[in-house]
Amino acid sequence: MSTAEILTMNELHLQALNQTLRERLAFIEFRLWFLGDVRRPDLIDRFGIAPAVATRDLGAYRELAPGNIAFEGRRKTYIPTPTFRPVFEHDPERVLSALSRGFGEGIGKASGGFLTCEFPLRLNRPPLEVLAVITRAIHQQRVVRLIYHSLNKGPSERVIVPYALVDSGLRWHARVYDRVSREFRDLVITRMEAPELLEDRAAPDECADRDIQWNRIVRLALVPHPGQPRPEIVARDFGMANGDALTLNVRAAIAGYVLQQWGVDCSPDHSLDSSRYRLWLKDPLVLYGVENALLAPGYRVPA
């Protein structure tokens, strides 16, 4: 039987499994692939299941992917085989998050990370009592009344219709329709105070499909900064194959955040210091009409 046929059979088997069992089998595969071993106690500790259930799960994975897993009697642990091939899709960001921070569902503390890992601290943390009101409003398409602390105007009452969360890399925003200014905008969650969920529902012209900046997709072509002494290293870091640009399709509403976070030189003549900016936006004209383009390093509005 060919590898393609085996993979097709595995996909059919996966579709027949319930979601809970799929999660446990994916965890077995995660441990095998990224840590090199898995034991019954790993499953018991992670999912709170009985030893007999953990034994059945290991047998189920062995039946699903017999060429992936072997038992090492000396250590009484399961290990990956030299012919290991994953049968589940593992998102790189989720894998790195699990390895560094562990798993968790928001109840108490998440399990500890599997490996030693250091990462930048997030200094901007939305208060959960405010975040909960905003997320309920998004989910239920409701209206919120709150006090918002603006850098320009100070505290003022706002009535907003939030419909999405946005992580700028430095802080969390809510994308909202602001009934006071009658426009769509981003509001920083840590600047919100005393949010109140109203019975009022979002009107048709206050929803995401009317937000031009949210629905406009901007194609960003990023290349190594021309001033970089070793552009091939930058290309390797960002997965640019065969001299191709790194192409990102992002919403206009978040384009400025993305370019700011990654330190992309957006000047038309790549004039920013290449020791600080490793990437250059090949065509800055794509930012024309993007409202938060002024956040992009070096961007100048075309004459």
The CATH number assigned to the domain holding 162 equals 2.30.30
Do both 225 and 279 map to the same domain? yes
Rg of the chain's alpha carbons, rounded to an integer? 24
What is the domain extent for residue 207? 128-211
Do both 162 and 232 map to the same domain? no
Q: What proportions of the chain, in percent to the nearest 5, are helix, strand and coil?
A: 35, 25, 40
The CATH number assigned to the domain holding 60 equals 1.10.10.10
122 lies in some domain: no
Backbone angles phi, psi at 94, to 5 degrees: -70, -40
Q: What is the pLDDT along the chain (303 residues), one digit of tens a residue?
A: 444 444 454 555 666 688 999 999 999 999 999 999 999 999 999 999 999 999 999 999 999 999 999 999 999 999 999 999 999 999 988 898 888 888 755 444 445 678 888 777 778 889 999 999 999 999 999 999 999 999 999 999 999 999 999 999 889 999 999 999 999 999 999 999 999 999 999 999 999 999 999 999 999 999 999 999 999 999 999 999 888 999 999 999 999 999 999 999 999 999 999 999 999 999 999 999 999 999 999 999 987
302 lies in some domain: no
Domain boundary among 182, 211, 240: 211
Domain boundary among 86, 101, 116: 101
Do both 200 and 226 map to the same domain? no
* Residue 6 pLDDT: 45
Do both 228 and 166 map to the same domain? no
Number of structural domains found in the chain? 3
Quick count: other Cβ atoms within 10 Å of Cβ 94?
12
Alpha carbons 6 and 208: distance in angstroms, whole number:
43
170 lies in some domain: yes
Are 65 and 57 a contacting pair, CB within 8 Å?
no
Alpha carbons 6 and 64: distance in angstroms, whole number:
10
Do both 37 and 7 map to the same domain? yes
- Listed residue (35, 80, 27, 89) closest to 53, CA to CA: 27
Residues 6+ apart with CB under 8 A from 254: 166, 168, 292
Do both 261 and 191 map to the same domain? no
Domain boundary among 35, 66, 101: 101
User: What's the pTM value of the predicted model, to 2 decimals?
Assistant: 0.78
116 lies in some domain: no
